[in-house]
């Protein structure tokens, strides 16, 4: 039985979440609270296995609360946040603080949304319960300073003007925001170009990419249709759309398309990996990292069959070992490596 506490300033949201989770016999809501102050008092009596947490609340905001909890007693947390640009920025801070997953609720029709998406909420709670929140502690990265602090930038960059015949494709889900904050800041500007699918809702991927861009030597951006994959650049698939790699002569670019859910996801790692298998084959490195489910397992096998080098993150460093485990089970993984070793593998492949 997974014991859940719901912390949300909306009485309607608290009530509806309690109602919908009663349909799932393995989940029990042990308490609700209208703000973090009440929640802290209640948690001293009985500590939940999983928190379902809003981020904008009175008296104490959800991010401050989450940081306190992760320092005091790391607890798997699912963020339940409104799908707005402001909410996206705040929720990214919550992920940085250690949240495991995001459920986006609309500003209007919240009750109907929650009742119609109870399976998604339950799945996020189960994934959180299966995670290891201590692995979500993000190492501190110093703010990136560019050469602008010393002199003005040149009008053109030869490094970014070059093309590459080697690319890296990464698929990641639960725990991936923290994992990518370990991998990408460790890469030099000479690293091969990357195409990344991180399971994340629409609007959140841009905030996530912008945040990573401030931390990294390489350029990190939310992918737009037709963007080129270049050395020193990482393209992150936009939430709610699939991303595929295409080859044009000696250059690689991405195609961003609509379409149905694939492996229950959009963007899907399987879609990305299959496109890389078809367009790049032996000129690509595929990496599957922490996440729940099996998205990417089949696509990684297709990449390996096409001659790509393939890696999986090891169980010890994963928040959830589901996706790497399934890829290994499908026979598509050449090597299994720890999170800290992934940047060096990417750099070595680029050479």
Model confidence pLDDT, tens digit, residues 221-251: 999 999 999 999 999 999 999 999 999 888 8
Helices (H), ranges, 130-225: 158-161, 176-183, 204-215
Count CB-CB contacts under 10 A for residue 44. 8
Element (H, E) at 30: strand 27-33
CA 328 to CA 296: how far, in whole Å? Answer: 11
50-53/2-7 β-pairing: parallel
Q: Could you give the CA distance from residue 232 to residue 275 in angstroms, rounded to a whole number?
A: 21
pLDDT at 87: 59
Q: Is 107 helix (H, G, I), strand (E, B) or coil?
A: coil
pLDDT at 85: 54
Phi, psi of 99 (to 5 degrees): -65, 150
- Which pLDDT does position 292 carry in this prediction? 82
Task: Show the low-confidence residues of the chain (pLDDT under 70).
Answer: 83-89, 91, 133-164
What is residue 156's predicted lDDT score, i.e. its pLDDT?
Answer: 39
Q: Which of 8, 118, 131, 199 is catalytic?
A: 199
Give the pLDDT of residue 149. Answer: 35
From the list 173, 263, 268, 275, the catalytic residue is 173
Give the HSE-up count for residue 350: Cα atoms under 13 Å, Cβ half-sphere: 23
Whether residue 265 contacts residue 217, with contact meaning beta carbons closer than 8 Å, is answered with: no
Q: What is the pLDDT of residue 67?
A: 85
Q: How far apart are CA 348 and CA 351, in angstroms?
A: 5
Structure letter (DSSP) for residue 238 = P
Give catalytic status of residue 345 as yes or no.
Answer: no
Using the Cα atoms of residue 174, residue 175, residue 181 and residue 182 in order, give the sign of their dihedral.
negative
Catalytic residue (choose from 295, 308, 314, 317): 295
Is 295 an active-site residue? Answer: yes
Domains and CATH numbers, the chain: 2-134 (3.40.50.2300), 160-350 (3.40.50.180)
Q: What is the pLDDT of residue 20?
A: 92
pLDDT, position 134: 61
Q: What is the DSSP string of 129-155?
A: HTS-GGGG-PPP-PPP--GGGTSPPPS
Contacts of 311 (CB under 8 A, 6+ apart): 285, 286, 287, 288, 333, 334, 335, 336, 337, 342, 345
Distance between CA 93 and CA 214 in Å, rounded? Answer: 14
> What is the model's pLDDT at position 58?
77
CA-based torsion, 291, 297, 303, 309: positive or negative: positive
| 173 is an active site residue | yes
Q: What is the pLDDT of residue 344?
A: 97
What pLDDT is attached to residue 146? Answer: 32
């Amino acid at each position: 039985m997974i014991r859940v506490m719901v912390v949300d300033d909306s009485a309607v949201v608290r009530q509806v979440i309690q109602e919908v989770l009663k349909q799932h016999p393995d989940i029990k809501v042990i308490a609700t609270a209208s703000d973090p102050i009440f929640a802290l008092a209640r948690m001293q009596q009985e500590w939940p296995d999983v928190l379902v947490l809003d981020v904008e609340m009175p008296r104490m905001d959800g991010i401050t609360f989450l940081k306190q909890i992760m320092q005091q007693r790391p607890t798997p947390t699912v963020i339940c946040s409104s799908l707005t640009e402001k909410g996206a920025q705040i929720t990214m801070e919550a992920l940085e603080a250690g949240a495991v997953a995001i459920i986006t609720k609309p500003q209007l029709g919240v009750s109907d949304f929650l009742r119609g998406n109870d399976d998604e909420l339950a799945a996020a709670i189960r994934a959180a319960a299966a995670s290891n929140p201590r692995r979500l502690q993000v190492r501190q990265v110093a703010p990136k300073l560019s050469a602008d602090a010393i002199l003005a930038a040149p009008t053109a960059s030869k490094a970014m003007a070059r093309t590459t015949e080697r690319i890296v494709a990464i698929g990641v889900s639960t725990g991936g925001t923290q994992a990518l904050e370990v991998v990408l800041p460790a890469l030099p500007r000479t690293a091969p170009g990357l195409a990344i699918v991180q399971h994340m809702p629409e609007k959140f991927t841009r905030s996530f990419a912008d945040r990573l861009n401030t931390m990294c030597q390489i350029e990190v951006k939310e992918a737009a249709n037709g963007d080129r994959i270049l050395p020193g650049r990482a393209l992150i698939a936009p939430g709610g759309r699939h991303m595929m790699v295409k080859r044009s002569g000696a250059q690689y670019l991405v195609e961003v398309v609509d379409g149905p859910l694939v492996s229950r996801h959009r963007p899907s790692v399987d879609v990305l990996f299959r496109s890389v298998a078809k367009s790049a084959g032996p000129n690509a490195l595929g990496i599957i990292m922490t996440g729940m489910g099996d998205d990417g397992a089949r696509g990684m096998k297709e990449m390996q069959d096409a001659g790509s080098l393939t890696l999986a993150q090891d169980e010890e460093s994963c928040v959830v070992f589901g996706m790497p485990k399934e890829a290994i089970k499908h026979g598509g993984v050449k090597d299994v490596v720890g999170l800290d070793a992934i940047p060096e593998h990417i750099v070595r492949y680029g050479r």
